């Protein structure tokens, strides 16, 4: 199976309350002791904040965050399941 087929078709922020896979913000991806946090940018609709560990927070548009999310999954990061 190629790596392309493993890329998610939907992303955590695509789910609505009541959906089976709905997760509340922030979305956290873990790999060992490293983590990446993704939040929606409430001041700039269509943009997201991405922050690795305690490094500087970046603002990314929808296309950039989807690409980055896919790359993180390919690098072995796993979405942390948070119960609501």
Per-residue confidence band for 18, with pLDDT thresholds at 50, 70 and 90: confident
- The answer to whether residues 26 and 57 touch, using CB atoms and an 8 Å cutoff, is no
For every residue of the chain, which 3-state class applies, written as one string? Answer: CCHHHHCCCCCHHHCCCCCCCCCCCCEEEEECCEEEEEEECCCCCCEEEEEECCCCCEEEEHHHHHHHHHHHHHCCCEECCCCC
Tell me the per-residue pLDDT of 23-47, one tens digit each, with 9 for 90 and over. 889 999 999 999 999 999 999 999 9
Long-range pairs of 24-27 with CB within 8 A, sequence gap ≥ 24: 24/82, 24/84, 27/79, 27/80
**pTM of the model as a whole:** 0.83
């Amino acid at each position: 199976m190629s790596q392309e087929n493993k890329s998610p078709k939907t992303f955590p922020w695509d789910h609505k309350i009541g959906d089976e896979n709905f997760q509340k913000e922030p979305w956290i991806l873990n790999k060992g002791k490293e983590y990446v946090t993704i939040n929606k940018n409430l001041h700039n609709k269509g943009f997201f904040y991405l922050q690795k560990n305690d490094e500087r927070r970046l603002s990314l548009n929808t296309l950039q965050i989807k690409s980055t999310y896919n790359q993180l999954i390919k690098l072995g990061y796993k979405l942390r399941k948070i119960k609501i």
